[in-house]
Amino acid sequence: MDLDQLATLRTPEGSAALAAAAELAGGDPLTAASALRAAGVPPPLAAAALTQAELRHRAIGKFGPGAAGMFLTRAGLEQATRRVVADRRAERLRAAGVHTLADLGCGLGADALAAARAGIRVYGVEADPVTAAMAAANAAAAGLADLFTVECGDATAFDVTRVDGVFCDPARRTTGTGRRIFDPRAYSPPWDFVTGLAERVPRTVVKVAPGLDHSLIPPGAEAEWVGVDGDLVEAALWCGELAEVPRRATLYRQESGETRRHQLTGSGATEAPVGTVGRYLYDPDPAVVRAHLVAELADELHATLGDPSIAYLYAEHPTRTPYARCLEITDVLPFSLKRLRTLLRDRRVGRVEILKRGSALTPEQLRRDLRLTGDQAASLVLTRVAGAPTVLIGRPVD
């Protein structure tokens, strides 16, 4: 997509092509292209409209129904923040007294739009001209063009004294190839610039990949890991006045048809106590594990670790929690393929889910080696207990 194609999509003819393409989204692309051409849409416009329709269709999971009016690029959509996460961040910024915000590297504008919806005046800066034009079009489509404006340029040149808060979500993919960047020092804008923002603007938030090494967390910052329905989606560094606690795990879960938010906080520096394998095993959510809040969770669940280096918790009594999956354990065996196969066959177990932490075995290989037949299901946990390779057999607790 280039700027001319985007401009054409925003004409009445383009809107009609987008509406027609939306009807065809999700079906066979060749059939959709022929249908648009048969309706008199010129081929280049048909191709651009179908790409948008496909991206909008895919974006519904991230943005909800609002995706239908957005302009998107593949790379921009992949890196964009989910609406539920962006809205919460915006609320938190607003509650902390942020009225004007710079979004340095605003991409398609998912975060900036959330801040504008929360009533914050947002100045977006985006280096890529097409992405910047799409962000501006997205602001207009959402009726937020007076609260979110975009300039195309280098975020490092933005005068941050103009605003009372800064948000930066640096690009974590290479331009061109789109390959993932794992080392924050290779982010764009550069990591030194990003972390230096906190020294210049007392209310700074930085979004980072959830794999962030804890040693890179700036001193005094709050590091938050975010999970959505069991997937670890991002981490954020809340700097200066915005830091409330050292570590936070925020989970969004679908419960009874609505999205609920749960937050576990703590120092991230406490060790969980070690005990024996109890009747119930808890497999903490990845956000809790990455935030180093397993000890805080152990405390809530009156649980202990079975091995000091493995984040499974055990307790004698079940406690309802949004922060971990719970299994009732029926058997604890030193790992032996032969013994495990015999036991599962005796119980007619034909289907297993396999969880693992601290085991070099691959679940796919084990599943093949077990050659299971039978009408029963079981959960297998491959782990270590007090250093010894162990397999636990159990079943999920609702």
Ligand X SMILES: C[S@@+](CC[C@H](N)C(=O)[O-])C[C@H]1O[C@@H](n2cnc3c(N)ncnc32)[C@H](O)[C@@H]1O
CA angle 154, 196, 214 (to 5 degrees): 115
* DSSP 8-state assignment for residue 241: T
Closest distance of CB 360 from ligand X, Å: 35
Give the nearer residue to ligand X in terms of CB position, either 188 or 359.
188
Closest distance of CB 138 from ligand X, Å: 9
CA angle 375, 385, 336 (to 5 degrees): 50
Selected binder of ligand X within 54, 164, 169, 222 (CB under 6 A): 169
First to last CA, the chain: 47
x/- mask, ligand X, residues 174-193, rule CB under 6 A, reads: --------------xx----
Binding residues for ligand X, how many (CB under 6 A)?
22
What secondary structure does DSSP assign to 297-365, as a single string? HHHHHT-EESSTTS--EEESS----SSEEEEEEEEEEE--HHHHHHHHHHTTEEEEEEEESS----HHH
Give the nearer residue to ligand X in terms of CB position, either 81 or 383.
81
Closest distance of CB 83 from ligand X, Å: 10
Give the nearer residue to ligand X in terms of CB position, either 45 or 135.
135
Cα 284 from Cα 281, distance rounded (Å): 10
User: Would you say 145 and 117 are in contact if contact means Cβ atoms under 8 Å apart?
Assistant: no
Closest distance of CB 92 from ligand X, Å: 15
Residue type, 270: T
Closest distance of CB 87 from ligand X, Å: 12
Give the nearer residue to ligand X in terms of CB position, either 76 or 240.
76
Give the nearer residue to ligand X in terms of CB position, either 131 or 359.
131
Residue 64 has a CB neighbour count (10 Å cut-off) of 12
Closest distance of CB 29 from ligand X, Å: 25
What is the Rg, in whole angstroms, of the alpha carbon atoms belonging to the chain?
Answer: 25
Give the nearer residue to ligand X in terms of CB position, either 5 or 81.
81
Give the nearer residue to ligand X in terms of CB position, either 9 or 122.
122
Give the nearer residue to ligand X in terms of CB position, either 78 or 299.
78
Does 383 bind ligand X (CB under 6 A)? Our answer is: no
Structure tokens at 298: 């152990």
Selected binder of ligand X within 33, 48, 93, 127 (CB under 6 A): 127
User: Would you say 77 and 62 are in contact if contact means Cβ atoms under 8 Å apart?
Assistant: yes
Closest distance of CB 115 from ligand X, Å: 10
Does 199 bind ligand X (CB under 6 A)? Our answer is: no
Stretch in the footprint of ligand X (CB under 6 A) among 35-43, 127-135, 219-227, 295-303: 127-135
Sites for ligand X among residues 101-120 (CB under 6 A): 105-111
Sites for ligand X among residues 138-167 (CB under 6 A): 154-156
Give the nearer residue to ligand X in terms of CB position, either 98 or 108.
108
Does 126 bind ligand X (CB under 6 A)? Our answer is: yes
Cα 313 from Cα 282, distance rounded (Å): 5
CA angle 233, 237, 239 (to 5 degrees): 160
Closest distance of CB 395 from ligand X, Å: 40
Q: Which of 132, 190, 202, 126 is CA-nearest to residue 160?
A: 202
User: Would you say 363 and 354 are in contact if contact means Cβ atoms under 8 Å apart?
Assistant: yes
x/- mask, ligand X, residues 45-84, rule CB under 6 A, reads: ----------------------------------xxx---
Give the nearer residue to ligand X in terms of CB position, either 63 or 282.
63
Cα 135 → chain centroid: 21
Q: 108: Cβ–Cβ under 8 A, 6 or more apart, which residues? A: 70, 71, 72, 73, 76, 77, 80, 131, 134, 135, 138
Contact residues: ligand X, CB under 6 A: 79-81, 105-111, 125-128, 131, 154-156, 169, 171, 188-189
